[in-house]
Amino acid sequence: MDKKQKTYDVAAYVWPAYTGNEPRTRIFWPEGYGEWQTVKNAHKNSTEKPAGYVWDRKPLWGYVNEADPKVMEMQIDCAYEHGVNVFIYDWYWYDGRPFLENCLNDGYLKANNNDLVKFYIMWANHDADHMWSIETSDSVKEVIWRGDVSFETFKTITRRWIEKYFSHPSYYKIDGKPVVSIYSITNFLKSFGGIEGAQTAIDYLRKEVRAAGFTDVHIQLVYNAFEGFDYDGRFGGSAGNAGKLLKIDSVTHYNMGTRQDRSKDYTEFTKDHQKGYDMMDAAGWLYFPQVSLGWDNNPRYRSFQPYIAKNNTPENIKAALEQAKAYIDSHDLPVPLVTINSWNEWTETSYLEPDNVYGYGYLEAVKEVFKEE
């Protein structure tokens, strides 16, 4: 296997719910194998949707346990062969402890070939509600676990990041700085009572990372067009303004859910992506381009969700990837990083893993655009 350094860093988000190793997931998926339960039952649940609609995607690899290192070794080999050389793991802290770490800790970190595909974590610090449970997603709206934390808890989180992840030889770094992404700037500010408290938390994180022997930490913000807020009367309520005040190092996106309009032909999304790229440039951000592979979260609901990206074929995905590559090539970035949603967001219909509809088509599109032979 060719192990030479790739020209581009192609990073796919990993939704770590396809495992039955975390007992607390049973409140969402009682059958005991994680959100594969929702994927497996999606066709049956489609019968209650409007005539003509059906969701019938199936994983070619089966409903595998991604907390199994042998499974992850197979997936890492496949990712590497198709040009995906970074995984971004969604990382959660709920109920006073980590949540859904098994996929990363027991799967990826114990895989013998994890040197082929690096990783970093995105702190998915949004609230947890009933969206993940088909039995309650339509009707129950209360929060199960809050995503904001106290400063003392953040200190514990910081130690865990440094000791368990940042120090791993496969952890992804920019200029020698371990990268950590923050999903919700709203909940980050809420955790610490506003800009000043959030700045104190960031200063603490940077100090601890430097004390651990790194030059610093690279903090990345997930830009969410839907987030609107106002803390301390110090800024107008945009994620960008908050990020500037906190001296966030870079920005990217996560999925179609963090963009304004998700219900259109996929060819229109490439135009939207370009508008987003131009907006980030105008704001002066260090921006790493992001490509979403689609959007349809009907598998999580019995009621019909009308926001559906149409024609997200491998050919149309390839055009979006080429657009992201052109952005990288035309900008002076510290690393040639593109983020992709995602490796396995099956219930949002945005995944690279091979399926019964396009086979390995999405992965082949990545390979054709980014893989250096």
Residue by residue, DSSP assigns 204-234 as: HHHHHHHHTT-S--EEEEE--TT----STTS
Q: Which two tokens stand for residue 349?
A: 């219909």
pLDDT tens string 95-114: 999 999 999 999 999 999 99
| Number of C-beta neighbours around residue 39 at 10 A | 21
Distance (Å, rounded) from C-alpha 52 to C-alpha 234? 50
| Number of C-beta neighbours around residue 304 at 10 A | 12
| Nearest residue to 17 via CA among 90, 73, 71, 76 | 90
Give the pLDDT confidence score for residue 5 in this predicted structure: 42
Assigned domain for 285 exists = yes
Assigned domain for 56 exists = yes
Does residue 147 contact residue 202 with C-beta atoms inside 8 Å?
no
Classify residue 64 as left (phi > 0), alpha (psi -120 to 50) or beta: beta
Supply the DSSP string of 11-70, one letter for each residue.
EEEE-TTS-S--GGGGGT-TTSSTTHHHHHHHHHHGGGSPTT------BTT-S--TTSHH
Does residue 194 contact residue 151 with C-beta atoms inside 8 Å?
no
Assigned domain for 2 exists = no
pLDDT averaged over 10-residue windows placed end to end, the chain, 373 residues: 63 97 96 97 85 91 98 98 98 97 98 98 97 94 96 98 98 98 92 91 98 98 65 52 84 74 85 85 91 94 92 97 96 97 97 98 98 72
Assigned domain for 309 exists = yes
| Number of C-beta neighbours around residue 7 at 10 A | 14
Please name the residue ranges forming H helices in 236-343: 239-245, 266-283, 314-329
Instruction: Report which DSSP code applies to 355.
Output: B
Give the pLDDT confidence score for residue 229 in this predicted structure: 47
- What is this structure's pTM? 0.95
Does residue 220 contact residue 250 with C-beta atoms inside 8 Å?
yes
Give the pLDDT confidence score for residue 101 in this predicted structure: 97
Assigned domain for 332 exists = yes
What residues contact residue 271 under an 8 Å CB cut-off, 6+ apart?
none
What is the count of structural domains for the chain? Answer: 1
Give the pLDDT confidence score for residue 255 in this predicted structure: 82
By residue range, what is the domain housing residue 51?
A: 9-370
Domain holding 221: CATH number? 3.20.20.80
Give the pLDDT confidence score for residue 52 in this predicted structure: 82
Does residue 16 contact residue 346 with C-beta atoms inside 8 Å?
no
Give the pLDDT confidence score for residue 225 in this predicted structure: 57
Assigned domain for 3 exists = no
Assigned domain for 198 exists = yes
Distance (Å, rounded) from C-alpha 275 to C-alpha 281? 10
Buried b (16+ CB within 10 A) or exposed e, 193-213: ebbebbeebbeebbebbeebe
Give the pLDDT confidence score for residue 240 in this predicted structure: 61
Assigned domain for 4 exists = no
Q: Which two tokens stand for residue 322?
A: 């080429």
